[in-house]
Structure 1
Amino acid sequence: MNIIDIFLYDTTWGFIFEIMIRCFVMFFLILIFLRLSGKRGIRQLSIFEVAIILSLGTAAGDPMIIDDVPIVQAFVVMSTIIILYRLVTWAMMKSEKIELWVEGKPLYIVEDGMMVIQDMKKEKYSHDEFFAEMRQQSVEHLGQVRVALLETDGCLSILFYTEQETKWGLPLFPKAYQKSVHLNTENYYSCMYCGMTQHLLHLEQECPRCHNKDWTESLSVPYIH
């Protein structure tokens, strides 16, 4: 194979145009797929940035290992992706709706020590994943948390109650997060599904927020900064 074949091979203007079309289609398919998959798996990067990285990575990888993929085709792909990046960035600056569609928006996961179940469902955010995230930030129970926000990069931002403001709340560590089988009417109990916390008359009582009937004994330990 000569030098010309390495850079051009059998590339035609028609195929270059086809590559550009494929880039446009695949770029937006990647964006749509990542928007549908939620924020959890893209820590520290926005969905838009992940789409750019995936697109450029694929374009750069093929000509390195496939001998009939010339460098000029990868150059066309990468140039097209950069143009798309500039266009979408410009559109996001001009339109809040476009920015919202591409980047998404932060969602409230906890408010006033209770989980916002509707927003968790939107992001397909499981209780196990949520509990693990909170534990990694040294949260022992939801009574310590005033607000938890799921950011567009998939990370949690948390505002804590002061020591004096700390409430009774749903425990997040496995040994404490156990369904209660004996009732002490003097204790507080938390709904294991939404975190609603109250005194109970009996353990089969229905949660007024989510209608769940599983309760665990609450904790009230203040958050240690």
Structure 2
Amino acid sequence: MNWLDIFFYDTTGAFLAEIAVRVVIMFTMIILFLRFTGKRGVRQLSIFELTIILSLGSIAGDPMFTKELPLIQAVWIMSLIISLYRLCTWLMMKCQVFEDFLEGKPLYIVEDGVLVLDKIKKGGMSQDEFFAEMRYQGIEHLGQVRVGLLETDGNFSVLLFEKNKVRYGLPIFPRYYQSVSQIETGRAYACMYCGQVATISSSKETCSRCNNNDMGWAQAINSTVIR
């Protein structure tokens, strides 16, 4: 066994030069393609944009080093992909149903300080992931959030209550997001499943909003956002 074959095999200097030319051409085509798609192509990607990028990578990769694949085929396929992208973009501007099919719809995850459970399931993210997104934005509890929206590109947008309208809410930092065993009279507690705030008499009490008593209750807080 010749160990040099692992690195070189039948590679010649001429083929290495050919690869350099192929890489430069395909790299240029990728740059041009991303310029055609506009700034959306360099942000977080929607499902539609991710499909385009994955197709682009597959088209550009093989012709860079495969001698049997002429570059004209890759250029032609990439041109078709650009045309399809432009066509889909035009159709999305003309037809809301088509846009919703390709891009999806934003989902309201938090409304008036409580979780919208049916939308969370559609979003395909866990409760911990939503809480992490809110913590990144300096949110301490759900009572600070008027609206929490999961965008089609995966970003999480929030609208906050005014400081004088912040209510008691479910804490989302791990230290405070813990079920209590002893209930203090007059204190507000939040359902750890849906965020509903109530005064309860027992830590085993069933939430009137989600009918859940498995996750328990956490002590609600009403601190304002500090920014």
Tell me the TM-score range normalised by the shorter chain: 0.7 to 0.9
Query: Where does 1:4-153 land on structure 2 (aligned, <5 Å)?
Result: 44-153=44-153
Mapped to 1, the partners of 2:139 and 2:46 lie a distance apart of 25
Q: CA deviation at 1:73?
A: 2.0
Mapped to 2, the partners of 1:162 and 1:67 lie a distance apart of 64
**Secondary structure, aligned partner of 1:75:** helix
Paired residue type of 1:100: D
**Secondary structure, aligned partner of 1:164:** helix
Mapped to 1, the partners of 2:208 and 2:66 lie a distance apart of 61
User: 1:218 is matched with which residue: 205, 211, 220?
Assistant: 220
RMSD of Structure 2 on Structure 1 (CA): 2.1
Aligned to 1:187: 187
**Secondary structure, aligned partner of 1:202:** coil
Task: Provide the identity percentage.
Answer: 51
Unaligned runs of 5+ in 2: 1-11, 19-41
Q: CA deviation at 1:201?
A: 1.5
1:112-159, Cα deviation, whole Å (9 max, x unpaired): 000011101001110110111011001000011111111111111111
Q: CA deviation at 1:192?
A: 0.6
1:72-97, Cα deviation, whole Å (9 max, x unpaired): 22112201111111221121122111
Aligned to 1:32: none
Q: Is the 8 A contact 1:193 1:212 kept in 2?
A: yes
Paired residue type of 1:224: I
Mapped to 2, the partners of 1:134 and 1:207 lie a distance apart of 23
Paired residue type of 1:222: T
Q: Residue 161 in 1 paired to residue 161 in 2?
A: yes
Unaligned runs of 5+ in 1: 7-41
- Higher RCO by CA contacts (8 Å cutoff, separation 6 or greater): 1
Q: Which one has the largest radius of gyration?
A: 2
Paired residue type of 2:181: V
